[in-house]
A and B are shown apart, each in its own frame.
Chain A
Amino acid sequence: MSRIEKKFRELKAKGEKALILYLTAGDPDLETTEKLILTLDRAGVDILEIGVPFSDPTADGPVIQEAAQRSLRKGTTLTAILKMIARVRKVTSIPIVLFTYYNPIFVYGNERFAGQAKKAGVDGVLVVDLPPEEADELRTFTDPQGIDFITLTAPTTDDRRLEKIVRTSSGFIYYISVTGVTGTKEPEAEAAARDLRRIRKATDLPVAVGFGISTAAQVRKFAALADGVVIGSAFVKWISLHCQEQDFLKQAAAYARELKEATVL
């Protein structure tokens, strides 16, 4: 059983939902990212999505675009991110999902990536611009390594397509709760609830909701509907506002704990 699967099972047994935080690796720098991962793990975050910065993030709104730019200016690379994950993996068992665009992986080499990601302790990959139609070229290498391949579904995904998507997913299904890029709109609970019912009908895999969720109140609302809630842009923005402060890690732990409480129903 993968670490991701195991985590969802444990949470279910406890009557909790997964708090999943996204952060862009290398923003403000990789050293901070490393410390942040360990802090968030201790604060009770259930799963981490580690974003690989890309020069042309077409699915992201301004907040994550700017984080990627800052990270790239620091010289962050996929190689360095994998090394960092390998280091934290020695001391934490929190499930880690690499959230990335395809080109950095493709250029790194799909086979080499699968091997190195596994070795570093990556549990899943979510490649934003690799829909099921194109995914085989990467999954040929990541599936045999036991790396979960997390797929996206959107409000625009119809039932027939949904069927096809969930059949090939592993780990969990990531439901994009808004028709838009990250962090720009607030999801509508009613529409999301309708879509989540459709997804549930199609699969037994856990379903996480993300894109546009930012407050503890929203977390509470969506935790009632799904198996996990993802906070991305709001957290990335929070990091950019507070990372220079003395007690930054302490504040981050408090931030995470507040959100985590909202997932305990």
Chain B
Amino acid sequence: MKINMPDNKGHFGIFGGRYVAETLMPALIELEEAYRRAARDRSFQKEFRSYLKDYAGRETPLYFAANLTEKFGGARIYLKREDLNHTGAHKINNTLGQALLARRMGKKRVIAETGAGQHGVATATVAALFGMECEVFMGAEDIRRQEPNVFRMKMLGADVTPVTSGTATLKDAMNEAMRQWVARVRDTFYVIGTTAGPHPYPQMVRDFQSVIGREARRQILKKEGRLPDFLVACVGGGSNAMGLFYPFRNDPETAMVGVEAGGKGIATGLHAASISAGQVGVLHGNKTYLLQDKHGQVKDAHSISAGLDYPGVGPEHSFFHAQGRAQYVSVTDDEALAAFMLLTTSEGIMPAMESAHAIAYAAKLAPTLSRDKIIVICLSGRGDKDMGIVAEKMEVKLP
């Protein structure tokens, strides 16, 4: 069965949709129409591709990790090097697309939510590029955890607004960005950083990120003459994973694994594994798997990685899960940290703590497979931003 989603109201099966207050509905409809026109417009696509190439630095390599393959002693490991993008993660693919769309729609002001600060930096970057005003909402707790990225955003000319409501993390930053959007919906474009939010965001972000999978598919066919057996990617809201998965969705020989943040372990309740351990609910404008209590109150997520610290997940992942098209697993903080060290020492590549989750799962999967199998891992970002967290865990004091 070919999967072509969403339907014209943004539903992926029972998931997705547009669960927002009336004030935002007209803006979402306007955005949907503008996006539909842009998606069909050759000149928009050409412009987008040219920024991806000359500004973000695409295409990114598909690197055969010989040392890691040797260490795992099983399947052949390829890394899709999204860490080599400008600003150090896959997030720029999406912010370039949305900023170009904002410019077309005549919006001169963009807002964004951010957890780790990667999406905030990527948004502030394109705002500087296109001369737009930029305000980034960030949980007060995350501002403390991700200090260097806060400074980067400010250097880029963005206002960083601390969010103290709720738990002062990513979900609250998103709440606040939505409130701000309601208040200034006429002149403001909301750049959502992942495949979540109300329709058309999950679809639009997926489309902008699909460049990851399109390239990887072409690259692996060239290198190996066949499609991979497994795709592995970390899942916060799910944009790097969906970007990699989507172009392979109709390739039945390729299995997909989304790796959620297991935090201190699923059993402790301190994790961010919405599909592995959550229930269906409605948050931030879409129906999807959520971490919530039995009364429908959303719970806090916990992860060593601020970029995965989100109690929901993109609705298309929920759909892939329900369809059995992709499998969702989790790894713990400690496993991710060990994988971070492993990749750093074996390949000289320091992954983002988010991406380390994908490596950690591959470390379990690869040894169970024979040497003729192929795993492609999305290395969604580089690890410089995580030096503080790693040092803290290793009990090293940074100067």
A residues lining the B interface (CB < 8 Å): 54-62, 65, 69, 72, 77-79, 101-108, 128-131, 133-134, 151-158, 161, 165, 176, 179-181, 184-185
Contact = CB atoms under 8 A, between A and B. Distances in A.
Given A129-B21, A181-B182, A181-B183, A54 B9 contact: no
A55 B298 contact: yes
B22 A154 contact: yes
A106 B27 CA distance: 25
Given A107-B279, A130-B19, A156-B185, A56 B298 contact: yes
A181 B296 contact: no
B175 interface: yes
B294 A107 contact: yes
B19 A134 contact: yes
Contacts, number: 127
B31 to A, nearest CB: 13
B57 interface: no
A106 B296 contact: yes
A176 B24 CA distance: 12
Lowest 4 A-B CB distances belong to which pairs?
A107-B296, A180-B183, A152-B22, A154-B23
Contacts of B21: 58-59, 128-129, 131, 152, 154, 176
Most A CB contacts (10 A, CB to CB) among B17, B21, B166 go to B21
B171 interface: yes
Given A56-B175, A102-B282, A151 B22 contact: yes
Nearest to A62: B165
A102 B185 contact: no
B284 interface: yes
Contacts of B25: 131, 133, 156-157, 161
B18 A107 contact: no
B301 interface: no
7 contacts: A58-B175, A78-B295, A107-B296, A134-B18, A154-B22, A161-B26, A165-B22
A137 B26 CA distance: 21
Most A CB contacts (10 A, CB to CB) among B9, B20, B186 go to B20
B37 interface: no
A34 to B, nearest CB: 19
B364 interface: no
Contacts of A158: 26
B23 A179 contact: yes
B160 interface: no
B21 to A, nearest CB: 4
Interface in B1-42: 9, 17-27, 29
A139 B317 CA distance: 27
Nearest to A151: B22
B281 interface: yes
Contact of A55 (B24, B178, B184, B297): B297
Contacts of A176: 21-23
B186 A179 contact: yes
B185 A72 contact: no
B282 A129 contact: yes
Interface string B164-184: 011000011001001100111
B171 A56 contact: yes
B295 A107 contact: yes
A107 B292 contact: yes
Contact of B297 (A72, A157, A179, A181): A72
A129 B298 contact: no
B157 interface: no
Given A56-B175, A77-B295, A154-B23, A103 B281 contact: yes
B285 interface: yes
A179 B282 contact: no
Contact of A129 (B20, B29, B165, B279): B20
Contacts of A61: 179
Interface in B285-322: 285, 287, 290, 292, 294-299
B283 interface: yes
Most A CB contacts (10 A, CB to CB) among B9, B22, B23, B297 go to B22
A156 B295 contact: no
A108 B26 CA distance: 29
Contacts of A62: 165
A134 B294 contact: no
Contact of B282 (A103, A152, A154): A103
Contacts of B295: 77-79, 104, 107-108
Nearest to B295: A77
B135 to A, nearest CB: 16
